[in-house]
Amino acid sequence: MQTTLYQQALLSHHQNPTGFQHNIKPSAESDGYNPACGDEITVKISTEKNTITGISFEGESCAICRASASIMCQQVSSLSDVQAKESIALIESSFAQKVPFAEALSPLNGVFDFPVRQQCALLPWQTLKQCLSQFKNS
Amino acid sequence: MSDFCPQRFKKIFPLLCLSESEGKPLIYFDNAATTQKPQNVIDATSNYYLNCNANVHRSSHQLSRSATALFEKSRVDAQRFINASSEQEIVWTKGTTEAINIVAQCYGSVFLSKDDEILLSHSEHHANIVPWQEVAKRTGAKIRVLPLTSDGKIDTDNLSTYISPKTAIVACTLISNTVGKVNDINGIVKAARNVGAKILVDAAQAVAHIKIDVQSLDCDFLVYSGHKMFGPTGIGVLFGKRELLMKMPPYQFGGEMIKNVSFSGTTYGELPFKFESGTPNISAVLGLSAAIKFVEEYREQFVQYERALTEYCFKQLNQIPNLTLLFTDIPDIPVFSFIIDEHHNQDIASFLDTNNIAVRAGHHCAMPLMEYLSLDGCIRVSLAPYNTRAEVDSLINVLNQYLTQELRTTVDETSALEDINHRFEKAKGWDGRHREIMMLGKSLSRMPKSLRGEDNLIQGCESDVWLQGQVDGVNHWHFQTDSDAKVIRGLLVIILSAFENKSSEQILDFDIEGYFEQLGLIQHLSPSRGSGVRSIVARIIQIVAESES
């Protein structure tokens, strides 16, 4: 049977996303846009001493993008900026090299067979990257 | 013509036949992106490599002569196809995009200056926007954009506002790949002629559907690709009026496009060769020639069918709740762009794809049009004459299924089973369990009468039992079932508690006999009821197993 894009665990994130429209006092925020799919996302983070203390996202996006953002909010909350950047780099390289994700990131494995949709999954992470670079500059 | 048979027509397309013979019939509704290829086109391209592979216009040996003859005969086919007055006006290109780039670079960038205006429309493909932006950047010319009417056509009511003596070139699509309506190119040509502007017509989306005559259109340039009209990819045509092509400089430089090369000076070849540098895509040219003959043979036959199919699809799509077509009125060719409120285009397209329906979601290389309409993108369903009403019905069914189930997910995979186990454990004796079965039966919603027919009737039950199964976007099965017998309705709920919203693998692996034993079910049923229950299970297994094979 064909690999399922919309795996159960991914849909659970889509339907009950972590961090969606969470009310935080952001110290940095960034907008991301994926023209291929039409995803629009805003990622906001609050930080204290180089550590992410709060993360939130909002915007109109597809199930893949939204689920990926939800997973991201679970993953990077309370990480240091360096650790968060490492997580982002891991996601990017896993997609580039087609290395399946383990555990909490595994709902994204369905996306490997749909190259056009990888951008949807990557968008929240790339937007967070922009966010982190802003925060460092400020 | 009324005797056109889409099923017979479809048989000419090997890819579509293959998907059917593999039991996974593809519903291909992305024809505006590229059409499938008929056997004669495939044969023509492979025949070149099999029987006459040699470079053209070079060597004097027999093989090269026959390849050159076929190659140049194809140019005559392309000339006839759009009624150009000379084969010198037919330039082979990689496709529409390259053809527009040749005009932009060799006409626009050479002959336009900062006081000139380039007139485009809001419904242009990126291929007819970006090259002109580059011309504007290089020459200082200004780009102006024609508005659209509410039905998506280029608005020609106020042409005088846009076309003035400053207008140097007007580049417009004959039919937009997103709108699907024939623009009033004649009106635009007339207005452009009055001010001496040149006209380029993008016919990429039109050529498979309507007959084109460049002489009666009176355009200066017309461009199209092979692959949107059943031909190969990587080949297209630039038609240009002879006197314009003559005064334009070459596009690229090298072999094939020269007359004489010397370090003291090089002279360029005659038309059309001065625009065709390097060894051309010979097999694709021969494939395009086959596609031209194919369209010429079938177009009159399928045009009426295509119209009826367009009307049918338009009517059916309009019945889907919350579906909004981007433009009012029925399109001229079967291209339908729409959005569905509160549902993401890409998720819908993926759900359709899971059900073997290929459509396109996104901006369709027309981002300025999406911006004009204040949209992020849309879903586009584009049909060809090998598509059928039954395929349109499938699309509608799957869209409705999506909207009612929207990526339906398991609420709790084990709860239904656990609930029944719990009820049976609590019930005292067979009487208590029988009561539970009757209670469960009340929870089964009725199956629509239209589905309670012969097709869904299960053999081997003493009461009538109907059952139908469908897989959803996450490849989980959902069954609709019904019976007139109350006890059977209860038993159906028990059976479905094991199979509903499960994957094929889960269904085929599930130990249903062990489950019945745990419930103490079969031994208390009459032999005929018992075998009826097993027939229902067997039917579910059969439906699932058949879909897997």
Distance from CA of B378 to the nearest CA of A (A): 9
> Looking at the complex, does the CB of residue B542 fall below 8 Å from at least one CB of chain A?
no
- What is the span of the domain harbouring residue A123? 8-132
Structural domain includes residue A110 = yes
CB B28 within 8 A of CB B17: no
Chain A within 8 Å of B354 (Cβ-Cβ)? yes
- Evaluate if residue B332 carries a pLDDT over 80: yes
- Per the domain annotation, does A137 fall within a domain? no
Res A91 pLDDT > 50: yes
Residues 6+ apart with CB under 8 A from B466: B447, B451, B452, B453, B456, B457, B458, B481, B482, B483
Looking at the annotation, which residues of B are catalytic? 365
| Residue A42's CATH number | 3.90.1010.10
Looking at the predicted structure, is the pLDDT value of residue B291 above 90? yes
Q: Which residues of A touch B474 (CB under 8 A)?
A: 4, 6-8, 11
B82 or B59: whose pLDDT is higher?
A: B82
Is a pLDDT exceeding 70 seen at residue B415?
A: no
Instruction: Determine, yes or no, domain membership for A100.
Output: yes
Q: Does A63 touch chain B (CB under 8 A)?
A: yes
The angle formed by the CA atoms of residues B434, B435 and B437, to the nearest 5 degrees, is 65
Residue A18 lies in a domain: yes
Mutation target for A interface from B347, B353, B507: give the one with most A CBs within 10 A: B347
Query: How many domains does chain A contain in total?
Result: 1
Where is A115: in which H helix or E strand? Answer: helix A115-137
pLDDT number for residue A125 = 95
pLDDT in tens, B50-70: 999 999 988 889 999 999 999
Q: Which of residues 16-35 of A touch B (CB under 8 A)?
A: 35
Q: What is the pLDDT of residue B480?
A: 81
pLDDT at B407: 45
Question: Which of B409, B505, B548 lies closest to A12 in CB terms?
Answer: B409
Residue among A15, A35, A62 whose CB faces B347 most closely: A62
Give the tokens for residue A106.
């595994």
CB contact under 8 A, B474 and A1: no
> Taking CB atoms and an 8 Å limit, are A1 and B367 in contact across chains?
no
A114 located within any domain:
yes
Inter-chain touch B361–A12, beta carbons under 8 Å: no
Q: Which residue has the higher pLDDT, B119 or B513?
A: B119
Q: Are strands B236-240 and B258-260 parallel, antiparallel or unpaired?
A: unpaired
Candidate from A5, A40, A63 with C-beta closest to B376: A40
Torsion of CA B425, B429, B434, B440, to 10 degrees: -20
**Structure token pair of residue B246:** 């003559």
* Mean per-residue pLDDT, B521-542: 87
DSSP B410: -
Cis peptide before B272 (omega within 30 of 0): yes
A92: its two tokens: 């990017």
ipTM given for this complex? 0.77
Q: How far apart are CA B430 and CA B16, in angstroms?
A: 55
Q: For the residues B444-465, what does the mean pLDDT come to?
A: 79
* End-to-end Cα, chain A, rounded Å: 50
Please report whether residue A90 resides in a domain: yes
Nearest to A5 among B350, B410, B504 (CB): B350
A74 falls within a domain: yes
Q: Which domains does chain B have, with CATH numbers?
A: 6-34+298-409 (3.90.1150.10), 420-548 (3.90.1010.10)
- Would A1 be classed as within a structural domain? no
Element (H or E) spanning B96, and its range? helix B96-103
Query: What pLDDT is recorded for position B451?
Result: 74
Residue B14 confidence (pLDDT): 96
Q: Is the pLDDT of residue B416 over 80?
A: no
Q: Which two tokens stand for residue B157?
A: 């009511």
Residue B221 confidence (pLDDT) above 90:
yes
